[in-house]
A and B are shown apart, each in its own frame.
Chain A
Amino acid sequence: MAVLSAKDTNKNLLKKGFVKYEGDHNYFEFYHNDIFITKTKTSHNNQEIGDPLISAMSKQCKVSKDFFKQFARCEKSQEDYVKELKANGII
């Protein structure tokens, strides 16, 4: 079963252009050209992200599970993410 570290995922989402929602730090938001594109909810830093949550987060981020895992592990860049969103018709 695939597992991601919540601490690393949260840190890497911020590196890739996501911003924390000020009202609740479990929510991450992605903006492109000043448009609110995607939102996702993550776990607390001390928890692991298991397969069901990876699946939920990838659906909210509008990418495949495989892409999301690579993105969360910093193996994909913000540019790759924007390209993927464009390919998926989101942007």
Chain B
Amino acid sequence: MTLVVNPKNKQQEKIIKVFMQSLDINFHSEEEAALAIRIDQIKTDKRTYLLKGFQSFPITRPNKKSFTIESKLLDIYANGSSVTEASADFYDQFDYTYQRLTNIEDEKLSKHLLEAKKFITLLVDQVKEK
């Protein structure tokens, strides 16, 4: 792809040069450009979680080398150098969170972990062990 710019005078040329230098252009695959993952199941080595319909979790880019998928309600902040890697971390943390919180009595959980437990049990329709 080529973009041709014809400045009309020296002043415009200077402005365009400064503008071009300030641009931060990167190329991302379609997957990497996604703003959120939208999933209806979570597969891990041990089990599959079937969710109650599609759920979206936002993807952010803390820097050029990292992707973060997070759910504040679930207290999950997953990282990776690609969306695929961050998704794998998210699935791993989802599995840990579900297994851990559903095996602890409500009164033994802090307020935010109890909220996370309520939310994750609402999201999950079925758990299939492998």
Contact = CB atoms under 8 A, between A and B. Distances in A.
Given A41-B93, A56-B79, A23 B99 contact: yes
B8 interface: no
Given A56-B79, A60-B77, 10 more contacts: A23-B96, A23-B99, A38-B110, A38-B113, A41-B93, A52-B66, A52-B68, A55-B77, A56-B68, A56-B70
The A interface, classified by DSSP as helix, strand, loop or mixed, is: mixed
A82 interface: no
Contacts, number: 57
A77 B111 CA distance: 23
B51 to A, nearest CB: 21
Interface residues of B, number: 23
A34 to B, nearest CB: 7
Interface string A13-44: 00000000101100100000011111101000
Contact of B110 (A1, A51, A57, A91): A91
22 contacts: A23-B96, A23-B99, A27-B100, A34-B108, A35-B109, A35-B110, A39-B97, A39-B100, A41-B93, A41-B96, A51-B62, A52-B66, A52-B79, A55-B62, A55-B77, A56-B68, A56-B70, A56-B77, A57-B77, A59-B77, A90-B112, A91-B110
